[in-house]
Structure 1
Amino acid sequence: MTFVTDQVRRVDSQLDRLQLFGLPSAPVSPLLEARRDTLDHAPVTSTRASQLQIVAKALSASATSQPILKPVRICSLLEQAQSALAQPISVQAQEDTAYERDLEWLIVSKAATQTYGVLLNVLLDQIMPLSNDIWYWDDILGSRMYTGLYSIQTSPLRFWKWSKEVYHDARQKLESITGPSELGATASKSLTDRWTQFYGLVKESVRERSLLDIHRQVVSPFALVRAEVRRKQAALRKFREMSASGLGVLMDEGLAFGLDDESLFSNTEGSKFDKEDWKLVVAKSIALMETVLRNVTAIEVGLPDFEDTVFASIEEESDVMHQASDESSDGKPAALCKRLQDILESHIPGHNNASKALTVKFGRPSRLTRYWLPAIVLILSSSTLLRILASRQAEIATWIRELGTTIVDFWSNWVIEPTKKVLGTIRHDKDSEIAIMSKESLAGDRASLERMVVDFAVDHPAESGGAASLSEAEISSIRDKVKEGDLTPVLKAYERDLRKPFMGTVRGDLVRALLIQVQKTKVDVEVAMGGIDSLLKSQELVFGFVGLTPGILVCIASLRWVKDTFGSRSGSKEGKRHVKMVRVLRNIDRILSASSSPSSPGSPHQGMLSYKEHGLLLCEVHTMRQTAQRVLPGEIHREFLEDIEDLVDIRTGVERQLKVVERIRWAYAKWLR
């Protein structure tokens, strides 16, 4: 939604309000007739009135989801209205006849509102791209390298222009020499003689032109190019200012009924608008739109002259306004409908063609002009490039195949497999559990150690403090101690044999005790490893995500690189919306601070923006609203629109508008960073 949509809806609601409380002559308000879903209960007095009601409903800004209709649709509805107006009025009471005339004026006013919205959009869409062309010329003027590049790009055009001038000059000289009486003699000459004569005239024209341009030799080619660029930039700025002034004139003066939003919801007698004044406003606004379209592209006149011409033309439309005030005239609505059709079918397309011609003449060069040199280089080197590609065809195919294999393997090994492991960990899949050793390894080694110690204790009962043999209770006690890590029988025998190691080795008890201790060390190591294994299992999900993270990061980085390299420009600008809002806010502050509006006491426009400044402000606000729609959240965006409404209200004065800019700056600082 733009400020144009808001303006059209506001004007349409004012018209509806005027119909509800300003037309006591109608039996029932035409607005109520148009707003009902069916016409079964409407007091339709004739077929003519029924057709007019249908057209009025279709032209209403609230009739469809799209407030501003397309020009083709508006023209079609106007044709339907004209066909209905052409029908003779039925012989009814004077009250019904006045009701049908009110319907006619309602259709004209709503069609004027729709045309008003179309024209505002046309001017707005025309002004916005001009800033880009002006910035393009700023870049050309700001760098000698860009100036030289522009000079090379446009050199064929300058040479072609110079050649045409020389040719026409030589041809004019040839025609002046031969004359009409000598045409037959010239035709009788041979082709060689005629070409020799024309070639001599061309050489003479080139020599004369060189003598005329000799004063330019003291000026560098860069200065000549920069002078041309400045001339085009000045023309674009003038066109932009005049378009902005036209936009401001239409916003301030077009369809201005003098009603504010509060009066629209007031039922007091003071809020009622005079029955004939709104017809004068509609007729005047139609003339205003037509005059703006005719003069906004005439950049040869100055901005003050443009505004004077617009208002002088409106004053000259006194005949139309007098007809609008003369209720006895029956052809007024039909004539205004015809003028609206002319605006939509002739003036707006003509204005678009004229503005496009100005943009082509003074805007940035075409793509053919900017890229003809790289295109020629590419065409000339195409055979060499094709030859290189053909000679390395096998290597290039191998590179492409290996690149594809690498991408597939990376995706499978570093993205798919870690993802499966993470999912398996979440589901407690046994195949995905992290384990340093098998589950049965520690239990088997413990049972083996237990058997070794029990057998050693049975073979050496004296070391266990028993008699000739150990009872079952003693053996059970030894098993329990071994489970706790107590190897007392083995250690006692080991200590005894260390006193006489040779004898212990011969008997084998020393070696046996030593091997049992080796088994004990193995069991202790496995117990420690089991603790580490348990710790890893408790953090198994963390390790799974750690293994998945590198693949995900590489994929994200690759996708962003591809998007930034090969993606659209609009996609690359999405990350710069905050910077764009700051720049637009800076432009708004600059427009308000540099306002040249009169501020003397007693001035009728004290502290208010001029038409040009108002139009430029509306363009910047339009850009800011479009950007903020994607940056600000819903509730904050609604509050932002309220502040924007305060900002574009020029009736409050420049000082209060600057305060609104400051409020926007601190209130939405979080989204402007």
Structure 2
Amino acid sequence: MPSQFVCQFTKPLIHSFVFKPPFPLPGESTADALSSSDPSKKHALHALLVSLNDTQTITSSVVANTVTSLRSLDTLAVLNVDDSEEEALKYAIVTKLVVAVYAEALDTYLTQATEVEAEAEWWADIERSRFNVTWYLLQTLPGRLLNVARIIVQTVQAKDLPLQLSTLSPSSLRKLFPSPNSLHPSALLTAFFPQPLSITSSAFILSPKTETSSTLKQALSLVTLPTFLAQQECRYNRKELEKIRDERADALGRLAQLRGPLAALIGTPNSNHSQQGPFSFLGFLELLNSVVTSESVSSTALDDTFGAIQYLSQISLPSLDPIHVEYLRSRHLLRPSRITLLWPKLLFLPPLALYALRFGYASRVTFLDMLKDARETVEGFVKGWLVEPLKEVLKTVRAGGAEGEVGVIVSKEGVIADLESLERMTLSLARDELRYDSQQLNALAQKIRVGDLTPIMEIYEEDIRHPLKSAMMGSLLRGLFIQIQKAKVDIDQALSGIDRLLKSQELTFAFVGVAPAFAIVYLVLGLLGGLLGGIGGRGRYGGSRRRREILNVMRRIERLLITQPTTPLPSLPTGLLLLSVTRLRTYGERFLPGSSSSSGYFTGGRFPEGVREAFLEDVADLEDPELGRDAKMRVVERMWRCWGTVLGWSVGGLV
């Protein structure tokens, strides 16, 4: 089945042609037109057209059967060139067949380019890491040793030498596999590393050691030599695959550039039967065949439109994939088989697991104690730092600022008692010394409640003029005690204000107390989610690795549009652009949530139609062949602006 991109790319070609019943020719009635044609042939053509419309994917077998039916109709009935309805039916059928062949060619090269690029990226991941290179060397070690053993046996048999253990000595191997010079590796080294090595690498590896070379350097070179050669092999495979990808992308770009001529051809049907074939599709099919194959084709294979369609759908296009796969396998450019990549794990994991089980069983008491301590720690953390603080928060919210509740620092009753004590002491002194009546005492009581002790302070000022006499016989001590009580009341009132402030912020303090526990829980859950996402190969929007790949794809799209100022783009940039846009569409369809499960945010708001739909709309704009380079540059800028934060393309987002 063609990819979604190919379907979107070729759908307008089918929709651009609308079959309409013909009008009668000038001077001819509808009855005369119908009587001059073959009704059975029209019914057969109409049935073929209906079957093609009902078929979701027009495969090569459907194309072959349709072409056979058309040929049989042309053989069994004489073509009436004046019957416009018959011509329109045939034109509609051939249009669908040509578009189907064109779509198959696009899909074939797009699939090949995508697969080759995936292989190149796999080799690039191995190449950039020394650990990955070493692990890859271990994975492929049995096959390399088998190749070495085979070449040794073949060489010994070719020279009629006995196959003995002494033959495997270093001196015997040097005699069996001499190196012509320092720039050409021996056959033994070539058997171990079958891919061609660069001249500089060979010179570095095979250069003779001088007398001044230290033993440490020689030992270090022997240790790093296999890893270095394996890295060179990965680099060679990556570069070769990138060349093949560019070749497929160039062909894909040339095929995409044929869409305009095909659209113009479909929009202007020609019923003149010239040497170019019926409906003028033969020239397009010959051009299409020249793009997909470089082999010479006999003239009889492309002598008419039906023959060209049949040749492309049955011979030319189906042969592309086997040739492509065989070429990659013969060059050893594909990644190793799954069993080759898994054998170290299959070999070493069972004994390691058995050893771990034995060790765990022997240390089961210690493990049980550790699990018990861990359980108690988790329970204490949950109860003491999560459950209990949350209960206090709920209690605070439920109680609110209820009056009469015990204060944090001082109680309301204590402040009132101190103030009443001060009032009684002050009124008693005023009654004894100032001889106040009840009305004056009530007025003084009102002043005391607002903190005004002026009459008492006047008595105190008079007493301190004669402190000893006043202390022995006067009211100095009573005034001093009143001052002390007044200071206590002032302190209580200040603490009461602080207490009211703390009560108003009690909910804030409660959340501050539980915030560290929530932070720890959030970090632990995030680490567990990342671990489980890494094990399952999935994460938010496909995981950081997928999003990093799409970031590189977006960068390549923008770079292609910037470095190619001409319009239209050349074939290679066009193919690479289509390849990149296809990867964007595949990513969006597989890893972005749709409208029913939208979880993406954009500048603080949720996408109303879902992340996937909005992303694919931008991708469709990049796929649109009607948009020029400048318009696509604006689409890329919009995608950077809209998706940079959502998909973590911003700095520090890919974690």
TM bracket, shorter-chain basis: 0.5 to 0.7
Task: Kindly provide the CA deviation profile for residues 384-409 of structure 1, in whole angstroms up to 9, marking residues without a partner as x.
Answer: 43333234334434444544554455
**What is the 5 A alignment of 1:427-506?**
429-430=400-401, 435-454=408-427, 456-457=428-429, 461-466=431-436, 470-471=437-438, 473-487=439-453, 492=459, 495=463, 499-500=468-469, 503=472
| Aligned 8 A contact 1:425 1:541 in 2 | yes
Specify which of 144, 156, 177 is matched with residue 213 of structure 1.
177
Contact 2:401 2:504 in 1 (8 A): no
**Paired position in structure 1 for 2:17:** 15
**Alpha-carbon distance change, 463 to 2 in structure 1, aligned in 2, over 3 angstroms:** farther
2:576 counterpart residue number: 616
Question: In structure 2, how many angstroms separate the alpha carbons of the residues matched to 1:289 and 1:625?
Answer: 26
CA distance in 2 between counterparts of 1:246 and 1:403 reads: 62
* Distance change >3 Å, CA 77–CA 520, structure 1 → 2: farther
In 2, the alpha carbon distance for the partners of 1:523 and 1:416 equals: 40
TM-aligned CA distance change 1:588 to 1:394, over 3 Å:
farther
Distance in 1 separating the partners of 2:148 and 2:121: 28
Offset at residue 381 of structure 1 (A): 4.0
Q: Which amino acid aligns with 1:583?
A: R
Q: Secondary structure at the match of 2:150?
A: helix
Deviation at 1:528, TM superposition (A): 0.8
Q: Offset at 1:527?
A: 1.1
The one-letter code matched in structure 1 to 2:579 is C
Does the C-alpha gap of structure 1 residues 376 and 71 become closer, same or farther in structure 2, counting only changes over 3 Å? farther
Q: Is the aligned partner of 1:393 residue 2:353?
A: no
* SS of aligned partner of 1:465: coil
**Does structure 2 retain, via aligned residues, the 8 Å contact 1:124–1:247?**
yes
TM-score (norm. length: structure 2):
0.64
Percentage identity across paired residues of the two chains: 23
CA 1:25/1:575 → structure 2, altered by over 3 Å: closer, same or farther? same
Structure 1's 450 and 474: CA in aligned 2 closer, same or farther, altered over 3 A?
A: same
Q: Is the 8 A contact 1:127 1:240 kept in 2?
A: yes
Q: Give 1:91 deviation, angstroms.
A: 11
Residue of structure 2 in register with 1:247 after alignment: 252
- Does 2:315 correspond to 1:319? no
Note the C-alpha offset of 1:529.
1.7
Q: CA deviation at 1:86?
A: 8.2
Count of residue pairs the alignment pairs up: 554
| 1:580 maps to 2:546 | no
C-alpha contact (below 8 Å) 1:4/1:120 kept by paired residues: yes
Q: Secondary structure at the match of 1:214?
A: coil
1:162 to 2:148 alignment:
yes
Letter in 2 for 1:445: D
Are 2:385 and 2:514, in contact at CA under 8 Å, matched by a contact in 1? yes
Deviations 1:163-216 (A, max 9, x none): 234556778999xxxxxxxxxxxxxxxxxxxxxxxx945779879875342214
Letter in 1 for 2:147: K
The alignment status of 1:124 with 2:90, answered yes or no, reads no
Task: Encode CA deviations 1:59-114: one digit per residue, 9 max, x unaligned.
Answer: 4xxxxxxxxx4577x86798799899989999999799864664455345325534
Distance 1:382 1:641 in 2: 47
Of 251, 261, 269, which aligns to 1:273? Answer: 269
Aligned to 1:40: none
| Distance (Å, rounded) in 1 between the aligned partners of 2:573 and 2:176 | 43
RMSD: 5.6
The change in CA–CA distance for 1:573 and 1:526 in structure 2 (over 3 A counts) is farther
- Residues 211-237 of structure 1: CA deviation (Å, up to 9, x unaligned): 342214684455765664455345423
Q: Secondary structure at the match of 2:335?
A: coil
Aligned to 2:497: 531
Q: Matched residues in 2 for 1:511 and 1:584: separation?
A: 93
Quote how far apart the aligned CAs of 1:155 are. 2.6
Q: How many angstroms does 1:663 deviate by?
A: 5.8
Distance 1:611 1:452 in 2: 104
Q: In 2, Cα distance between the equivalents of 1:118 and 1:365?
A: 29
Distance in 1, Cα, partners of 2:157 & 2:324: 37
Counterpart mapping for 1:52-91 below 5 A: 52=48, 54-59=50-55, 69=56
Aligned match of 1:181 = none
Q: TM-score, normalised by structure 1?
A: 0.62
Q: Does 1:362 align with 2:333?
A: yes
Kindly state the Cα deviation for residue 465 of structure 1 after the two structures are TM-superposed: 3.1
Say whether the 8 Å CA contact 1:140–1:150 is kept in structure 2. yes
Letter paired with 1:450: E
1:413-462 per-residue CA deviation (whole Å, 9 max, x = no partner) reads 555666666677667735799844444443343334434444x34xx723
Distance 1:123 1:484, change over 3 A: same
Alpha-carbon distance in 1 for matches of 2:378, 2:100: 57
Q: For residues 309-388 of structure 1, what are the structure 2 equivalents within 5 Å?
A: 309=295, 312-313=296-297, 317-321=301-305, 336=310, 340=313, 350=322, 354=326, 357=329, 361-366=332-337, 368-370=339-341, 372-373=343-344, 376-388=347-359
More helix by share: 1
For structure 1, the residue ranges without an aligned partner over 5 or more in a row are 27-42, 60-68, 175-198, 265-270, 296-305, 325-334, 594-605
Contact kept? 1:128, 1:619, Cα under 8 Å: yes
CA distance, structure 2, for counterparts of residue 503 and residue 244 of structure 1: 114
- 2:278–2:304 CA contact under 8 A, matched in 1: no
Q: CA deviation at 1:571?
A: 1.5
Q: 1:55 to 1:82 in 2, by over 3 A?
A: farther
How much does 1:159 deviate?
Answer: 0.7
CA contact (8 A) 2:123 2:234 kept: yes
CA contact (8 A) 2:270 2:279 kept: no
Uncovered stretches (5+) of structure 2, i.e. residues with no partner: 26-38, 180-184, 187-202, 207-224, 593-599, 645-649, 651-655
Instruction: Show the counterpart of 1:603.
Output: none
Return closer, same or farther for 1:358/1:612 CA change in 2, 3 Å cut-off.
Answer: farther
Q: Greater CA deviation, 477-486 or 113-122?
A: 113-122
Give the secondary-structure state (helix, strand or coil) at the position aligned to 2:271. Answer: coil
In the aligned structure 2, how far is the partner of 1:132 from the partner of 1:88?
47
Any idea what SS the aligned residue of 1:15 has? Answer: coil
Query: 2 CA distance for matches of 1:85 and 1:520?
Result: 119
Amino acid across the alignment from 1:159: L
CA distance in 2, matches of 1:167, 1:206: 11
Q: Which residue, out of 531, 539, 543, partners 1:571?
A: 543
Equivalent position SS for 2:114: helix
Q: How does 1:555-570 map to 2 (within 5 A)?
A: 555-568=521-534, 570=542
State the distance in 1 between where 2:104 and 2:516 align.
54
**Contact kept in structure 2, 1:123 and 1:243, CA below 8 Å:** yes
CA distance in 2, matches of 1:91, 1:205: 80
State how 1:508-523 maps to structure 2 within 5 Å. 516-523=482-489
Q: Retained in 2: the 8 A contact 1:584–1:623?
A: no
Contact 2:253–2:574 under 8 Å retained in 1: yes
Q: Which moved more, 1:558-567 or 1:662-671?
A: 662-671
- Three-state SS of the structure 2 residue aligned to 1:622 is helix
